[in-house]
Amino acid sequence: MSHTVSTQLIPPWPTPPDRLPGLVGLLHRLRRNPLECWSAEFFREPIVRIRLPLLTAYIVSDPEAIRRVLMDNAANYRKDPIQRRILANGLADGLLSVEDERWETQRRTLAPLLAKRTVISFSSAIRHAAEQLAGRWEKLCDGTILDVAAEMTLVTLNVLALTIFSDGIGGDPEDFRSAMNAYFGVIGRIGIFDLMGLPASVPRPGRARLRRTMAYFEGVIDGLIETRRRRMGSFGAAPPNDLLTLLLRADDPTTGRAMSLTEVRSNILTFLSAGHETTANALAWSIFLLSQSPEWRMRVREEARRELDGPVEGLADRLVVTKAVVQEALRLYPPIAALSRTATEPDTIGQFQIGRGALVVIAPYVLHRHSTLWDRPEVFDPARFLGDAKREVPRFAYLPFGIGPRTCIGASFALQEATIVLAVLMERFELALAPDAKVWPVQSVTLRPAYGIPMRLMRRGGVDPLTTRESVTSGPLDNAGGEAAAGDLVMQRTAQIEGY
């Protein structure tokens, strides 16, 4: 099957080196930007083995092998200790970091809260948060330069605050937001001690500050939980139907056990932490990609104009083109660029014998650009996720949310949120890349734009005093060989994409 497109856009990414660098080069790149480590063979081979002095690692992009690691034999592959130690900073008792029985019971308890049928009821809160952001932008002058990446972080935090604590957070929302920002600024930081694999008992620099920030923010959350508990226990108005009430009422369908205060708090922190930056990146990359593609911008706008007037229920399901843009942004720039597991027992995957303790990495960033799985993988083309083409996307070749028992529990929430927010913003504003902006992907906990995404804001219908960025970036330019200014995107005019 083939579909026609008028423009081929190859968004910026580090050109894979021909060969994997040596150990020193590898460590240097890992620290600077892990995306630069992936050499050409990773995008070509089903499984690549890397032997390091203390460790053997397998990078797996073969769909059958992925099925074995993440689904059929998932019990043999645990989240690796580095990933867990980093998470354990603040989220030790939340779903993301617990294991074994604790994980099973939490997963069973939390699954109904974030199931698609439940998250559909959050669509008006999401729309409200998007409208609040749009209202703030409306007050700015046309031509204002905004960092869209930072703005998306604010809107996704706001969505979570509105869906978890729908009756407000009490006190000054600015205080809450800055406490939350400070919290997330410190918990996800990967230090050199972590990369070196030093045990958690070795004191890390900045640990005291981390503890203070955590204690303060956790105290704020505990206060909110306590107030809600009292309200739920008293007669009078029913408590709001939000995630906090659902969390406090939730019990394990198998054992009937409710969650402890620590588990409720840890899972609120987990949702805030796992849900805000990931979704913010998906949105920021989507807006960036649309700013480079007049064709898709127009299609998203037409759809948004038509659908935003309709009922808010089921809105994200009607925004099919907008959702396809988000899915394509998640393919090109998956916020979680790599999943890593440690084999607890020997196993066989493909032609490889996996030893006990080996590291197995499934990297959505590599998988989504793999030459044997995707047609012209480097090209931005949301049509991959529309109509018949969508049904042909192989199940284990597209994993922005992972797969198997530990798949993202917030996937429906995130997709719905990103789709609605994108539609509202695209309908109301013209966003053009700021002159001289550099857009470059870097993996630093999440896959984010290294220098933010500075964009010039125009209300739709306003008069744009400057030429748009696209008109500056016409004609084929080469971004090979390293960092590129955003204008250096490869834009080739061709008639058809074959394949699919």
Q: Give the footprint of ligand HEM on this chain (CB under 6 A).
A: 79, 95-96, 107, 270-271, 274-275, 278-279, 282, 335-336, 339, 400-402, 406, 408-410, 413-414
Q: Closer to ligand HEM by CB, 20 or 396: give it.
A: 396
Q: How far is the CB of 112 from ligand HEM (least distance, A)?
A: 14
Q: How far is the CB of 54 from ligand HEM (least distance, A)?
A: 22
Q: Closer to ligand HEM by CB, 8 or 156: give it.
A: 156
Q: Closer to ligand HEM by CB, 333 or 374: give it.
A: 333
Q: Closer to ligand HEM by CB, 12 or 364: give it.
A: 364
Q: How far is the CB of 415 from ligand HEM (least distance, A)?
A: 7
Q: How far is the CB of 244 from ligand HEM (least distance, A)?
A: 13
Q: Closer to ligand HEM by CB, 48 or 280: give it.
A: 280
Q: How far is the CB of 274 from ligand HEM (least distance, A)?
A: 4
Q: How far is the CB of 270 from ligand HEM (least distance, A)?
A: 5
Q: How far is the CB of 338 from ligand HEM (least distance, A)?
A: 9
Q: Closer to ligand HEM by CB, 165 or 434: give it.
A: 165
Q: Closer to ligand HEM by CB, 184 or 497: give it.
A: 184
Q: How far is the CB of 439 from ligand HEM (least distance, A)?
A: 19
Q: In the bound complex, which residue of the shown chain has the CB atom lying closest to ligand HEM?
A: 410
Q: Give the whole-angstrom CA distance, residue 355 versus residue 346.
A: 5
Q: How far is the CB of 369 from ligand HEM (least distance, A)?
A: 16
Q: Closer to ligand HEM by CB, 213 or 342: give it.
A: 342
Q: Closer to ligand HEM by CB, 404 or 435: give it.
A: 404
